[in-house]
């Protein structure tokens, strides 16, 4: 094997590793899990830490059911009915109805949290997520904005909002920095997989963060 063949072989292996890492982070940080991650942050890293474990698990379970299980089952049904071709929603035109489903799920969860007297910043996290999804839906008619980065942008916005309001169980700055770092890996993964451009990734992040932090 000559030098050129060695270099080509190494590049191919490196590309495979990058692909697998990108798929891993894209799956782990799917937008469908961001509401659940946000509730975990809310219940275990804020003043709500004092709540009993059964109460926390009940809230977490309801949020996961509405924003995680329901959308996945809906996407599977849409694929079965041949309304969409891919449950990963890589095509821009396939995202329209799923976005509507996500908006309904986010708003429903916000209403649930409001009714159980959750802090304003907690249910506004969900309502802000619904607003971000609506903006993504509108933009989607002309452009493909990153839903993954909108999700983690919203999570960063939630962490910043809790910390800025003095509602953290401890100083959340290290957690915020770590989340920003992970967001960078996620954005790089989406670009490496050729799912989005750099601008689409940045726009998605801004969309999620602004609605959750400033609303």
Question: For position 14, what pLDDT does the model report?
Answer: 73
Task: Compute the distance between CA of residue 101 and CA of residue 42 in angstroms, rounded to an integer.
Answer: 24
Range of weakest confidence among 52-66, 84-98, 160-174: 84-98
Q: Confidence class of residue 9 from pLDDT cuts 50, 70 and 90? A: low
pLDDT of residue 186: 94
The helix/strand count (H/E) of the chain reads as 9, 0
* Distances from the Cα of 172 to the Cα of 66, 166, 178, 208, angstroms: 27, 10, 10, 19
The half-sphere exposure of 162 on its side-chain side, counting CA atoms within 13 A, is 30
Does residue 6 carry a pLDDT above 60? no
Chain-centre distance for alpha carbon 176: 15
Nearby residues of 62 by Cβ (< 8 Å), 6 or more positions away? 109, 112
**pLDDT of residue 82 exceeding 90:** no
Residue 115 tokens, joined = 């009714």
pLDDT at 198: 94
Query: Is this model's pTM higher than 0.85 or not?
Result: yes
Q: What pLDDT does residue 86 have? A: 76
Q: Say yes or no to pLDDT of 98 above 70.
A: yes
Residue range 107-112: mean pLDDT, rounded? 98
- Look at the block and give the residue holding tokens 């993504």: 136
pLDDT in tens, 133-150: 999 999 988 898 999 999
Retrieve residue 186's tokens.
């996620």
Residues with Cβ within 8 Å of 183's Cβ and at least 6 positions away in sequence, in order, are: 149, 152, 153, 156, 205
Q: Is the dihedral of CA 73, 145, 204, 112 positive or negative?
A: negative
Q: Is 126 exposed, middle or buried (0-12, 13-18, 19+ CB in 10 A)?
A: buried
Q: What is the percent of the chain with per-residue pLDDT over 70, rounded to a whole number?
A: 94
Give me the chain's average pLDDT, please.
91
Local confidence band at 195 (pLDDT 50, 70, 90 cut-offs): confident
pLDDT at 64: 98
Measured CA to CA, the distance from residue 44 to residue 53 in angstroms comes to 10
What average pLDDT does this structure show over 186-213? 94
Q: Is the pLDDT higher at 18 or at 211?
A: 211
Dihedral sign for Cα 63, 150, 145, 15, please.
Answer: negative
Task: Report domain extents, the chain.
Answer: 14-214
């Amino acid at each position: 094997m000559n030098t050129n063949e060695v270099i080509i072989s190494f590049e191919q292996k490196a590309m495979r590793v990058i692909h697998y890492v990108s798929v891993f982070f894209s799956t782990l940080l799917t937008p469908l899990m961001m509401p659940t991650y946000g509730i975990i942050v809310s219940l275990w890293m804020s003043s709500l830490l004092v709540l009993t474990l059964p109460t926390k698990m009940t809230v977490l379970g309801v949020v996961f059911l509405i924003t995680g299980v329901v959308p996945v089952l809906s996407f599977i049904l849409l694929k079965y009915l041949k309304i969409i071709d891919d449950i990963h929603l890589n095509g821009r035109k396939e995202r329209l109805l799923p976005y509507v489903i996500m908006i309904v799920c986010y708003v429903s969860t916000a209403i649930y949290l409001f009714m159980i007297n959750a802090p304003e910043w907690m249910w506004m996290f969900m309502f802000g997520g619904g607003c971000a999804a609506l903006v993504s839906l509108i933009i989607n008619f002309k452009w493909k904005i990153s839903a993954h980065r909108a999700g983690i942008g919203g999570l960063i916005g939630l962490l910043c909002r809790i910390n800025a309001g003095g509602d953290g169980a401890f100083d959340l700055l290290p957690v915020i920095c770590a989340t920003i770092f992970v967001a960078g890996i996620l954005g790089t993964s989406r670009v490496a997989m050729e799912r989005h451009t750099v601008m689409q990734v940045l726009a998605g992040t801004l969309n999620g963060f602004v609605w959750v932090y400033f609303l």
